[in-house]
Amino acid sequence: MISPAITTASPDEVRPDKKRPDEKYSDKKLPGDLAMWFFILAELTVFALFFIGFAVSEQLNKEMFTQGKAQLHQTAGLINTIALITSSFFVALALNVMHQAKAKQAVWLLLTAKAFAIIYIAVKIWEYFSLFAQDITIETNTFFTLYFLITAFHLMHVLLGMVILAFIAHSAWRDKYHNKDLAGFESGTSYWHMVDLLWIILFPLIYVI
């Protein structure tokens, strides 16, 4: 039997300083869809294995890895780092203006982000071709096998990220997102930040250390 005290109590009568249990975490919300975060975790795990494998291989072939790193273009790596960080910055701004329901402005910010991603891709392709010009390929030695595998795998993620950014930009342009429901938009931006996060580990590991 339901107590009369419970049935007659209105929300206004609840003490304002006493939060309901479900209100406790109401201001803490995971951006985007939960599924995207699990996907991001899976990707991070795969790359973690690559990075650890690279470090172990370097310890086993120190001389080969030192020579290999000397043949890489550090400035190209730095340009790519700056390009991806700046791209990620514009994506963060795009999400910010989407929260203010300025979809068209968000689209322009996403296009700027994509322009920086194109710089990354152009520099990476130039880097590959400059290595090919020196007769360095994926079969040259263990260092370059890992270098091409890891960087090309990352490049694939950049390309996929660009497709996702294009999709959310297109959806935003057609006003498919509403202020309260930005889960799809947030999922896309989170994926892009993951690509950036991976590069900031990849860059020092392969180019610098």
Partner 1 sequence: MQKHKTVNAAVNSWIVLIFLSVMAIYLPTFIDNRSHYIICALIIVMLKGQQIVDVFMELNNAPKFWRLLFLSYIVLLPLIISVIYLL
- What token pair was written down for 115? 């322009």
CB 82 within 8 A of CB 117: no
Count the alpha carbons within 13 Å of 17 in the hemisphere toward its beta carbon. Answer: 0
Tokens 């989407």 found at: 98
What residue type is 177 in one-letter code?
Y
d(CA 20, CA 6): 14
Choose which of 96, 105, 130, 145 interacts with partner 1 (CB under 8 A): 96
- Residue 6 amino acid letter: I
Q: Judged by CB under 8 A, which stretch of 13-21, 52-60, 134-142, 169-177 contacts partner 1?
A: 52-60
Torsion from C-alpha of 13, 19, 25, 31, nearest 10 degrees:
30
Task: Give residue 128's identity as a one-letter amino acid code.
Answer: Y
Report phi then psi at 82, rounded to 5.
-65, -40
In the set 23, 25, 70, 139, which binds partner 1 (CB under 8 A)?
25
Residue 25 has φ and ψ, to the nearest 5°, of: -110, 15
Q: For partner 1, which is the closer residue by CB, 4 or 90? A: 90
User: In the complex with partner 1, which residue's Cβ is closer, 27 or 135?
Assistant: 27
Question: Binding string to partner 1 for residues 133 to 162, with x set by CB under 8 A, is what?
Answer: ------------------------------
Pick the stretch among 117-125, 138-146, 172-180, 198-206 that binds partner 1 (CB under 8 A). Answer: 198-206
State which of residues 9, 14, 19, 30 lies at the interface with partner 1 (CB under 8 A).
30
Among 39, 44, 69, 112, binds partner 1 (CB under 8 A): 44
Q: Is 78 in the site for partner 1 (CB under 8 A)?
A: yes
Cα–Cα nearest to 136, from 205, 72, 63, 204: 72
Tokens 């599924």 -> residue: 35
> Which C-beta is closer to partner 1: that of 23 or that of 27?
27
Q: Which stretch binds partner 1 (CB under 8 A): 110-118, 131-139, 148-156, 194-202?
A: 194-202
Report the interface residues with partner 1, using CB under 8 A. 25, 27-31, 37, 41, 44, 48, 51-52, 55-56, 58-59, 74, 78, 81-82, 85-86, 88-89, 91-93, 95-96, 99-100, 190, 193-194, 196-197, 200-201, 203-205, 208-209
